[in-house]
C-alpha cells in the first residue's frame, strides 16, 4: 500500500470542511482522497484523476468496497485535461486541488513495467499504454545525442555522456531488455554510493521523458487555477528538482494574477516521517491560495 507523504500537512493547509468539494489530481492508491473525504462528510465530493488504467480499476473497486461511490468519482484521465474533465463531470465549488506527483508504490512493486531497478522486468515505464514510446525503444534505438539530452534534461545526470556511450556500445552486441540489465550497465559506469543506486537519475529521466511528466504538470497546474473557487488552495507535492522548477515557475505566474503563495518556505517531511517512509526523503510541498 502506498503511504501518502506529508498527508497531515496537506490536510492542515487544505482545512477540509463539511460538504466541501476537492480534486485529487493523482489518486494512486487513494490515501489523499480518503484522508480528505473523512472530513468533508456527509455530502462533500472528490473528483479524482488516475491516468494508469490498471490502478484506476483497482481504485474503482476500492471506492466501491468502502461504499464511497457517492463521495469519490474516479476518472481514468490525465490531469493535464483538468479543465475539460471538470466541465464534462459538471464538478464545481472546488475548494482545493492536490497534486502528489510521480508514481505509486504499486508501480514499483506490482506493475511489472520496469520502473524499479530492483527487479528484472521488461523496460516499459509507461504510466498509460496509449503512450507511443517505451523505455526499451528509447534505450535501444535513440541516438547518442538524444540519450544524452534525455539524461541531462530530465534527470540532471552529470555523467550523461559516459552512460550514453556505454549504452550504445552494449546494445550493438545485444539489445538491453530489462530494468536490471540497464541498472547494471549504469552501475558499471558510475561509482556506487551507499545511499542511492547509481541508476536512480537515469530511471527518473526515462520515466519523466516517456510520460511527459513535466509537460503534464505545467499544463495541469496552470489550468487547475482556473477551475478553482476563489479562496481555494492548490497543493503540489514533488519529488525531484525539475518538477520543483516547473512548480515555482507556474506559482510565479499565478502570483502575478493575484494568488498568494502559502508556503513561503518549502515544507519538508520530518525525520520521523522519513524514517518510517524513506520514499518521503526528497518530498517538497508548495501551496498557493486563490484570492
Ligand X SMILES: C[S@@+](CC[C@H](N)C(=O)[O-])C[C@H]1O[C@@H](n2cnc3c(N)ncnc32)[C@H](O)[C@@H]1O
**Min. distance of Cβ 172 from ligand X in angstroms?**
34
Stretch near ligand X under the rule CB under 6 A, chosen from 21-29, 138-146, 184-192, 246-254:
21-29
Angle 257-224-3 from CA coordinates, rounded to 5°? 125
HSE-up of 160 (CA within 13 Å, CB side)? 20
Counting residues that bind ligand X (by CB under 6 A) gives 22
Spatial contact of 254 and 33, defined as CB atoms under 8 Å apart: no
**Member of 13, 14, 23, 32 binding ligand X (CB under 6 A):** 32
Stretch near ligand X under the rule CB under 6 A, chosen from 46-54, 61-69, 147-155, 254-262:
46-54
Please give the sequence-ordered ranges of beta strands (E in DSSP) within the chain, or none if there are none: 21-24, 46-49, 72-75, 94-100, 233-238, 260-261, 284-289
For residue 229, give the DSSP letter: P
Q: What are phi and psi of 47, to 5 degrees?
A: -100, 120
Chain center to CA of 250: 17
Q: Does residue number 4 form part of the binding site for ligand X (CB under 6 A)?
A: yes
**Min. distance of Cβ 174 from ligand X in angstroms?**
31
Write out the three cell numbers for 176. 538491453
Q: Which of residues 213-242 bind ligand X (CB under 6 A)?
A: 216
**Min. distance of Cβ 75 from ligand X in angstroms?**
9
**Min. distance of Cβ 45 from ligand X in angstroms?**
17
**Min. distance of Cβ 76 from ligand X in angstroms?**
9
Residue 32 CB partners (closer than 8 Å, separation 6+):
4, 7, 10, 24, 26, 98, 100
Q: What are phi and psi of 277, to 5 degrees?
A: -140, 85
Q: What is the DSSP string of 163-218?
A: HHHHHHHHHHHS---BHHHHHHHHHHHS---SSS-TTHHHHHHHHHHHTTHHHHHH
Stretch near ligand X under the rule CB under 6 A, chosen from 15-23, 48-56, 88-96, 153-161:
48-56
Residues 95-124 as x/- pattern, contact with ligand X by CB under 6 A? -----x-xxx--------------------
**Member of 44, 48, 49, 74 binding ligand X (CB under 6 A):** 49
Q: Does residue number 52 form part of the binding site for ligand X (CB under 6 A)?
A: yes
Q: Which of residues 155-184 bind ligand X (CB under 6 A)?
A: none
Q: Does residue number 204 form part of the binding site for ligand X (CB under 6 A)?
A: no
**Min. distance of Cβ 165 from ligand X in angstroms?**
31
d(CA 105, CA 142): 29
d(CA 108, CA 197): 15
**Min. distance of Cβ 194 from ligand X in angstroms?**
25
**Member of 50, 121, 157, 181 binding ligand X (CB under 6 A):** 50
Q: Does residue number 26 form part of the binding site for ligand X (CB under 6 A)?
A: yes
**Member of 13, 14, 63, 127 binding ligand X (CB under 6 A):** 127
Q: Which chain residues interact with ligand X by CB under 6 A? A: 2, 4, 26, 28-32, 49-52, 55, 78-80, 100, 102-104, 127, 216
Amino acid at each position: 500500500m502506498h503511504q501518502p507523504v506529508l498527508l497531515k500537512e496537506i490536510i492542515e493547509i487544505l482545512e477540509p470542511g463539511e460538504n466541501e468539494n476537492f480534486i485529487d489530481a493523482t489518486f494512486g492508491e487513494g490515501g489523499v482522497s480518503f484522508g480528505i473525504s473523512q472530513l468533508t462528510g456527509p455530502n462533500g465530493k472528490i473528483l479524482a484523476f488516475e491516468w494508469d488504467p490498471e490502478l484506476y480499476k483497482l481504485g474503482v473497486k476500492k471506492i466501491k468496497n468502502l461504499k464511497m461511490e457517492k463521495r469519490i468519482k474516479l476518472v481514468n484521465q490525465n490531469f493535464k485535461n483538468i479543465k475539460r474533465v471538470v466541465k464534462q463531470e459538471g464538478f464545481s465549488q472546488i475548494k482545493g486541488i492536490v497534486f502528489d506527483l510521480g508514481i505509486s508504490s504499486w508501480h514499483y512493486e506490482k506493475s511489472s513495467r520496469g520502473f524499479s531497478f530492483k527487479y528484472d522486468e521488461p523496460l516499459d515505464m509507461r504510466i498509460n499504454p496509449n503512450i507511443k514510446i517505451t523505455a526499451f525503444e528509447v534505450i535501444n534505438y535513440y541516438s547518442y545525442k538524444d540519450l544524452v539530452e534525455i539524461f541531462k534534461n530530465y534527470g540532471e545526470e552529470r555523467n550523461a555522456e559516459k552512460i550514453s556511450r556505454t549504452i550504445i556500445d552494449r546494445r550493438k552486441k545485444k539489445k538491453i531488455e530489462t530494468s536490471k540489465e540497464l541498472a547494471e550497465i549504469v552501475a558499471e559506469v558510475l561509482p556506487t554510493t551507499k545511499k542511492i543506486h547509481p541508476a536512480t537519475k537515469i530511471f527518473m529521466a526515462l520515466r519523466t521523458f516517456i510520460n511527459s511528466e513535466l509537460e503534464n504538470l505545467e499544463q495541469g497546474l496552470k489550468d487547475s487555477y482556473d477551475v478553482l473557487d476563489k479562496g481555494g488552495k492548490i497543493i503540489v507535492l514533488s519529488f525531484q528538482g525539475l518538477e520543483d522548477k516547473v512548480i515555482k515557475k507556474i506559482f510565479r505566474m499565478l502570483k502575478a494574477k493575484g494568488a498568494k503563495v502559502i508556503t513561503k518556505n518549502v515544507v519538508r517531511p520530518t525525520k520521523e516521517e522519513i524514517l518510517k517512509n524513506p520514499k518521503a526523503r526528497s518530498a517538497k510541498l508548495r501551496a498557493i491560495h486563490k484570492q
